[in-house]
Amino acid sequence: MPLFAAAILARAAPPPSLQADLQAVVNAQAVQWNTSFSLGLSWGDGSEVLAVAAGADDHAAGTTVNTSTLYPLGSATKMYTAVACLQLAEQKKLDLDAPLAALVDPFLQRTNKTSLLALYGDPRILNITTRQVLSMRSGVPDYDDEKVKAWSFDRANAGKDLSPYDYLHAADLTPKKFLFEPGTEGSYSSIGFELAGLVLAAATSSATWKDYDQRSILPAALAATLPDFTFPLGGPCSSLPRVVEQYAIIVDPAAQESADWVTLTSSDLTWGSCLNGWTFGNLAAAAADVARVVHATFSKGAATRLLSDASLAQMLTFQPLTVGWSTGLPYGMGTMHVQIFASDTIPSELLTFVGHAGQDYGSGAALHYYNAALDVSVVMATSSAPGLNCSLADVTQNGQGPNVAACLAWEAVLVSYGKAKTGELSCDHRRHRLGDDADAADAPEPTTTTPGMRGVHLARPSASPLAAARVGGAANGRG
Q: Which amino acid, residue 367?
A: L
Of the candidates 4, 19, 11, the one whose C-alpha atom is nearest the C-alpha of residue 45 is 11
pLDDT string in tens for the chain (479-residue length): 444 433 444 467 889 999 999 999 999 999 988 899 999 999 999 999 999 999 999 988 999 999 999 999 999 999 999 999 999 999 999 999 999 999 999 999 999 999 999 999 999 999 999 999 999 999 999 999 999 999 998 999 999 999 999 999 999 999 999 999 999 999 999 999 999 999 999 999 999 999 999 999 999 999 999 999 999 999 999 999 999 999 887 766 666 666 666 666 778 899 999 999 999 999 999 999 999 999 999 999 999 999 999 999 999 999 999 999 889 999 999 999 999 898 999 999 999 999 999 988 889 999 999 999 999 999 999 998 666 666 665 666 667 788 899 999 999 999 999 999 999 998 876 554 443 333 333 433 333 222 222 233 333 343 322 222 222 233 445 66
**What per-residue confidence (pLDDT) applies to 27?**
98
**pTM score, two decimals?**
0.89
Those residues whose C-beta lies under 8 Å from the C-beta of residue 2, and which sit 6 or more positions away, are none
Helix, coil or strand: residue 251: strand
Strands 284-285 and 229-230 come out as antiparallel
Cβ atoms 99, 127 nearer than 8 A: yes
| 284 phi/psi in degrees, rounded to 5 | -135, 115
Cβ atoms 434, 406 nearer than 8 A: yes
430, exposed or middle or buried, with CB in 10 Å at 0-12, 13-18, 19+? exposed
**What per-residue confidence (pLDDT) applies to 34?**
87
**What per-residue confidence (pLDDT) applies to 470?**
20
